[in-house]
Amino acid sequence: MQVSSIEGVAQATPKKSFLRLLLLPLVILAGMGLSVEAGLLGPLGVQVGHLWATLSIFGVGSAILYLLLLFSGPQKGPALSELPRWQLIGGFLGPIYVVVLTLATPHIGIAMTMIAILSGQVGKSVLIDHFGWFGTARKRVNGERWIALALIVVALVLIARG
């Protein structure tokens, strides 16, 4: 994948544009999976407890990942001692996300939970892109991004009222 820069604006090559077009439906499907997960975890958390529900989802996920690693051929193992510690924060944030999802869904519903999560994700993502945090390429916030974020907040308000 090649990206050329003209006046600080990244221009995608045809190969990169095709990859983005191919990945977008996959990411949308993954987002749909999160809504299904919320629908499953809420009642499970009520039945067995929120922390047990979270542990079960991570246990099943870990088992599936282990099998994928086992059958996917040789992999370069992680050198955890060589990684910057901040890169491991995701392992801490994932369970918090799932516990909150498990707690919130039965009380505020799946749609409200998902749009609230989306507003937090997009809001923080805009900041991460804008400042280039975590080693990402900087992508300045423009008017269109501000409008998109505002529309997500409007959606949050409308779903909360409905």
Q: Which DSSP string do the residues of 21-75 spell out, in sequence order?
A: HHHHHHHHHHHHHHHHHHHHHHHHHHHH-HHHHHHHHHHHHHHHHHHHHHHS---
Q: And the tokens for 35?
A: 């809504």
- The yes-or-no verdict on residue 52 having pLDDT over 90 is yes
Instruction: Express as a percent the part of the chain with pLDDT over 90.
Output: 38
Instruction: Express as a percent the part of the chain with pLDDT over 70.
Output: 91
- Taking each helix axis from N to C end, the angle separating 14-48 and 110-131, rounded to the nearest 10 degrees, works out to 140
pLDDT of residue 11: 55
pLDDT of residue 15: 78
* pLDDT, mean of residues 34-63: 91
CA-based nearest residue to 99, from 38, 32, 156: 38
* pLDDT, mean of residues 37-59: 91
Amino acid at 85: R
Q: What is the pTM of this model?
A: 0.72
What rounded mean pLDDT belongs to the chain? 85
Confidence of residue 28 (pLDDT cuts 50, 70, 90): confident
